[in-house]
Amino acid sequence: MSMRNVCEKILLTEEKINLRISELGKEISEDYEGKEVTFISVLNGSFMFTADLLKKITIDSCVDFIQVSTYGNSTSSSGEFMLKKDLSLDIEGKDVIIVEDIIDSGYTIARLIEYIKQKNPASVKIATFIDKPSRRKQNVEAEYVGFIIEEDYFIVGYGLDYAQKYRDLPYVGVLKEHIYS
């Protein structure tokens, strides 16, 4: 099946994504003017968002990567937190922004925040590409949100995957149901 024929519809075009990321970069840069921020990119899904966001940041920053999972190859979170790759930077006393691809149930990000706070950063905030508050099971809010999607779509593209596929789509689309059901 062609990669371009897996979505029933496109929700976010490449142009819309680029515009919103520019706005987020400006907002974060203004909020942290005169400070250095450590961005923690949550692999694998947020790598595209992180790369494009950092290109729009005008403050001193560094980036590290962490890999956690609560999904496996499922379409819903198991709630079980699994650390697959830890940070390599010391974040004690640093202003930290966790960069996430999507906040859905909130299980992953809630557990990740707990884990990061154990490393004693000065502050922890969240930047998420997609927020799906209608599916929230944990009380978490991102300070920087790319897009809010209220509908209960299973979406792919721009880093978002299904079973490690479709991350490379330059847009975000609704995955055809027969692919994941």
Provide the pLDDT for residue 151. 92
Q: Which residues are marked as active site?
A: 104
Question: Residue 49: helix, strand or coil by DSSP?
Answer: helix
> Can you list the residues of the chain whose pLDDT is less than 50?
1-2
Average pLDDT value for the chain: 92
Please give the Cα distance from 21 to 36 (Å, whole number): 19
Residue 97, strand partner residues: 39, 125
Q: Is the pTM of this model over 0.75?
A: yes
Determine phi and psi for 99, rounding to 5 degrees.
Answer: -105, 115
Provide the pLDDT for residue 135. 85
User: Could you say which of 3.40.50.2020, 3.40.640.10, 3.10.180.10, 3.30.470.20 is the CATH number of the domain covering 3-29+36-66+89-180?
Assistant: 3.40.50.2020
